[in-house]
Chains A and B, each alone.
Chain A
Amino acid sequence: MAAAQLRRDVTTLEEQVTLVDLVDRVLNAGVVISGDITLSVADVDLVYVGLRVLLASAGTLDRLAAEAAAA
């Protein structure tokens, strides 16, 4: 998967908004198979709620949306 390459290309504000949408979906939607899920970043396990706040807080989403609209 060329995930790293794609991520470097995500530079414009519009794309950043989309990135937030992507992360929001990945963390908050989709099929759940096992009840017990551990999330990790760079092999460090994180508490689910902590990661969600870090990556997809409503404040960040609003700010990015506002900046994109103003650009």
Chain B
Amino acid sequence: MIHLYAFVLGAEGIEELVRLGRVEAVVGREAVDAVGHGLAVESLVGRCRSVLPVRFGERFPDEAALRRAVEPRLAELERRLDELTGCVEIGVRVAPPEERTAVETGTDYMRAAGRRQADLRDLDRRLQPRARKSADARYLVARTEVAGFAAEVERYAREHPELALVCTGPWAPYTFAAA
């Protein structure tokens, strides 16, 4: 059984590759769980020019079956890899813990959730200019812009000390892989 982790361009020092023209598929011969899959994909970020993550659970009986499944979509995969070159994903969340403990009714909960959404939209307007794309508080950011992006989140956090901002990344661009 072959497990598919990602498609990449410009791989360096990666052992298990299936070459599909310019694109290469990173695969594993042994089954891993979801966390193992994620860690494997993240480990590719520094070692490839571009990484297109594959959703957990894609597996094929052998290399021939993998090629048959992928080859009709190779041009599309190559185009996406070119678009994502030099980019990473950053996630942002707002979590106000003090409200959580005070919440007693469903109405209070929904109000708190609504405020959290409004906070995120406000922050989103600040972050948009620094991102190539965005979706649901996840941002596609050029690697060279990551420091600037993080600094903007930091500034927003200082202006809004009542919010608990959680910023994670840089990730392989999962959220933008299928777009």
Residues of B within 8 A of A (CB): 4, 7, 28, 31-43, 52-60, 69-70, 73, 77, 80, 91, 93, 95, 97, 100, 164, 166, 168, 171, 174-175, 177-178
Contacts and interface: CB of A to CB of B under 8 A. Distances in A.
Taking chain B's interface residues, is the majority helix, strand, or loop, or is none over half, making it mixed?
Answer: mixed
Contacts of A26: 34-35, 37-38, 41, 53, 55-56, 174
Nearest to A30: B55
B174 A30 contact: yes
Contacts of B36: 1, 3-4, 7
Given A3-B39, A40-B57, 5 more contacts: A29-B53, A33-B54, A65-B93, A69-B164, A70-B97
Contact of B177 (A30, A37, A65): A30
Contact of A29 (B59, B93, B166, B174): B174
Interface string A51-71: 100010000001001101110
Nearest to B56: A26
B40 A25 contact: no
B5 to A, nearest CB: 9
A14 B113 CA distance: 22
A27 B35 CA distance: 10
A25 B57 contact: no
15 contacts: A1-B40, A3-B35, A4-B36, A17-B168, A19-B35, A22-B35, A22-B39, A23-B38, A25-B174, A30-B55, A31-B55, A37-B58, A41-B33, A55-B34, A65-B93
Contact of B97 (A1, A42, A51, A69): A69
